[in-house]
Amino acid sequence: MLNQVEELASKAFDELGRVTDVSELEVWRIRYLGRKSSLIQILRSLATLPLKERRTAGTRANELKRALEDAFTEKKSNLERSLAPSLQRESLDITLPGQRVSLGRLHPTTQTLEEICDIFSSMGFQVVEGPEVEWDYYNFEALNMPVDHPARDMFATLWVDSGTEAGDKPMLLRTHTSPVQIRVMEKSRPPIRIIAPGRVYRYEATDATHEWMFYQVEGLAVDKNITLADLKGTLFEFARRLFGEERKCRFRCDYFPFVEPGVEVAIDCLACRGAGCRLCGNSGWIEILGAGMVHPEVLRRVDIDPEVYSGFAFGMGVERIPILRYGIEDIRLFYSNDLRFLRQF
């Protein structure tokens, strides 16, 4: 029995020497001083030993128990003391105010685009897209503006390839979204009802009202018996949903080579409701888009018979809508990435 106690003692101290943290120490305590440990078992079984052996073994076992308890207490306080500096270092003041996580948001242009697309989608228009780098053919030629057509001057163009070298087709950054009309009509037959949102580019010196890149949304409907009344109804409805039920609309003649007749659509001024103010330049009206009945020549080019089918088209600038709504005074704010501006929407 005595041997057993001695063996246990040397094992226990040996292992305690290798303990390096508090949780290991607890495992050690359970193993050597816990209720099921050998030492406690030995102490319990003393009663069954002959008197002489009981005395020697009992004394030694009790000594060992006390020694192990003392060693445990000392080791524990050592470990805790060596932990203190790192606890101090890693301490954190949970009473400090938190740091707000700043959430991103959609750009005002994106918000407006989504609104426009939602309105036309609910009227049965499909949303399509076209390339921003475009052939002269789609941007001008097929839209009834052959080379040297004076209307090309309406669109200050950024050329990618002038097409002057033999075999090169002239290529440009699209100046409007109207070329998507041609791409859609080449690929599909009436009935057609699409809108085409996207970026357009102009060779422009920028100022408060001009940007060299901005967004447009194009619209096109082609079917049998489409009339100017359908165009009016559609755009009236659009203007009321976007700018409010009480909105008035004005249609006036305008010229675009790819429509006949062409119209300019205006709404009564949001600020003065027609009385005349700074926002509307004292006219009471604010132009919001160009539109018209698709020119028969344009239909013919994409093999749609203008004797059977007719269509309307429209195109609008997107930034103009938040500019009007919020009274934004400089279009350059949209794409100069100033968070003080962008966070307001």
315 binds ligand DAH (CB under 6 A): yes
* Cβ distance to ligand DAH smaller for residue 37 or 216: 216
Minimum separation from the CB atom of position 245 to ligand DAH (A)? 26
Q: Sign of the CA dihedral 115, 119, 122, 124? A: negative
Find the part of the chain contacting ligand DAH (CB under 6 A) among 13-21, 233-241, 308-316, 333-341: 308-316
Q: Which long-range contacts (CB under 8 A, 24 or more apart) does 38-41 make?
A: 38/4, 38/8, 39/5, 39/8, 39/12, 39/64, 39/65, 39/68
Task: Tell me the C-alpha distance between 217 and 47, whole Å.
Answer: 99
Site stretch for ligand DAH (CB under 6 A), options 16-24, 34-42, 265-273, 286-294: 286-294
One residue of 25, 291, 321, 333 binding ligand DAH per CB under 6 A: 291
Of 245-284, which residues contact ligand DAH (CB under 6 A)?
256, 259, 262
The token duo for 26 is: 């607890």
Residue of minimal Cβ distance to ligand DAH: 315
Does residue number 292 form part of the binding site for ligand DAH (CB under 6 A)?
yes
Q: What are phi and psi of 317, to 5 degrees?
A: -85, 135
Sorted by sequence, the CB contacts under 8 Å of residue 306 that are 6+ apart come out as: 296, 299, 300
CA distances for 59 relative to 12, 49, 173, angstroms: 18, 13, 100
Instruction: Give the shortest CB-160-to-ligand DAH separation in angstroms.
Output: 19
Write each residue from 36 to 75 as x if it is in contact with ligand DAH (CB under 6 A), else as -, in one continuous string: ----------------------------------------
Size of the site for ligand DAH (CB under 6 A): 12
Q: In sequence order, what are the residues at sequence separation of 6 or more whose Cβ sits closer than 8 angstroms to the Cβ of residue 236?
A: 249
Residues that bind ligand DAH (CB under 6 A): 176, 178, 218, 256, 259, 262, 290-292, 313-315
